[in-house]
Amino acid sequence: SKPIVAIVGRPNVGKSTLFNALAGKKISIVKDTPGVTRDRIHADVDWLDHKFTMIDTGGIEPDSNDIILSQMREQAQIAIDTADVIIFMTDVKQGLVDSDAKVADMLRRSHKPVILVVNKVDNFNKMMADVYEFYNLGIGDPVPISASQRSGLGDMLDKVVNYF
Ligand code: GDP
Ligand code: MG
C-alpha cells in the first residue's frame, strides 16, 4: 500500500494550508483559530511518479491539560505512529519556541524519518536568517516553505519521497 506522510506541529503553524495545497482541494478547515482541525484527515497526493497518503493533524500543544488539546495531541501521536515519514512544521513568524523543542522530542522517540519544515517564509531572501535558528532543534536541516504562496513545496516533496 501507499506510504503515509503525516503533517505535525503546533496549532496555527500552517499544517492545514499545506495539506490543502497538496491535496488540491479544500478538505481540511483553515481558520485563524488555533487547532481548528480536530480530526485526522487523509488525502491522496501524487508527486512526480510517487503516490502517497497524507494525514493532516489538529496540532500538538505539548504542555496543555485542556481536554481538546490533549485529544488533539493523542490524535497526532496516532498519526505519528501510523506514518512512514513525518513533516514537522514550524512557523518562522513565531520563531523557535519551547513547544517546538518538545514536539521534536516526541518525534525523536518515534524513530521515524522527519522533515523539518519552516513555514510562512513568504520572502526567501529576507527571511532565511530566521530559518537558520531552527537548526537548534537538532532534528535536521530546516526546509523553508510558504504554504500559502505554495513556494518551496517541490524541494520539500523531493525530501519526503526520498524516504520511500
Ligand atoms: P494549522 O493550525 O497548523 O492547521 O494552521 P492553518 O493552516 O489553519 O493556518 C493558520 C494561519 O496561518 C492561517 O491564517 C493561514 O492563512 C496562515 N498561514 C498558513 N500558511 C502561511 C504562509 O505560508 N504564510 C503566511 N503568512 N501565513 C500562512
Ligand atoms: Mg489545521
Q: What's the CA gap between 71 and 106, in Å, rounded?
A: 16
Number of domains in the chain: 1
Q: Is residue 53 part of a domain?
A: yes
Cell of 36: 481548528
Q: Is residue 7 part of a domain?
A: no
Q: What does the pLDDT read at residue 24?
A: 73
Q: Is residue 87 part of a domain?
A: yes
ipTM of this complex > 0.95?
yes
Q: Is residue 1 part of a domain?
A: no
Task: Return the CATH number at 43.
Answer: 3.40.50.300
- A 10 A CB-CB count for 95 gives 12
- A 10 A CB-CB count for 78 gives 14
Q: How far is the CA of 120 from the centre of ligand 1 (A)?
A: 7
Q: Is residue 6 part of a domain?
A: no
Q: Is residue 29 part of a domain?
A: yes
Q: Is 57 in the pocket of ligand 1 (CB under 6 A)?
A: no
Q: Is residue 3 part of a domain?
A: no
Ion ligand 2 contact residues with beta carbon within 5 A? 15-16, 37
* Residue 57 in marked binding region: yes
pLDDT in 10s for each residue of the chain, 164 residues: 899 999 999 999 999 999 999 987 655 555 555 555 544 588 889 888 999 999 999 889 999 999 888 988 888 899 999 999 999 999 999 999 999 999 999 999 999 999 999 999 999 999 999 999 999 999 999 999 999 999 999 999 999 999 99
> Which is the closest atom of ligand 1 to the Cα of 56?
4
Q: Residue 55, exposed/middle/buried by CB under 10 A (0-12, 13-18, 19+)?
A: buried
Q: Is 15 in the pocket of ligand 1 (CB under 6 A)?
A: yes
Q: Is residue 54 part of a domain?
A: yes
pTM: 0.92
The residue range of the domain holding 51 is: 15-161
